Amino acid sequence: MKRKLNVLLVCGSGASSSFMAAKMRYAVREKGLDINLTARSEGEISNYIGDVDAIMVGPHLAGDYENLKKQYSDECKVILMQKEYYAKLDGEKAIEHLLKELKP
């Protein structure tokens, strides 16, 4: 039996990632997936790093992405969310991107 996938969405303050997380949770329920989504600010990553399988970084933090990837990629997958679905709060496209990035 597979364990639940834990994903942390991060943005500058945690507000926009909270909206995206809500849309992604809806897509997760619709698809019957076992994914837990938490939204927080970039400054809170270290509080969650031992408990997550992936960090999805808001596209407005693209300038910080490489640094975050270097800092956390040994512990989990670090994914830069795409502007196209983030701007539209398209939770289904975000889940598709997440699952594609997590494939071995």
Q: Which domains does the chain have, with CATH numbers?
A: 5-102 (3.40.50.2300)
17 neighbors 10 (Cβ within 8 angstroms): yes
Mark residue 32 as left, alpha or beta (left: phi above 0; alpha: psi -120 to 50; beta: remaining). left
14-54 pLDDT tens trace: 678 899 999 999 999 999 999 999 999 999 999 999 999 99
Tell me, yes or no, if the pTM score tops 0.85. Answer: yes
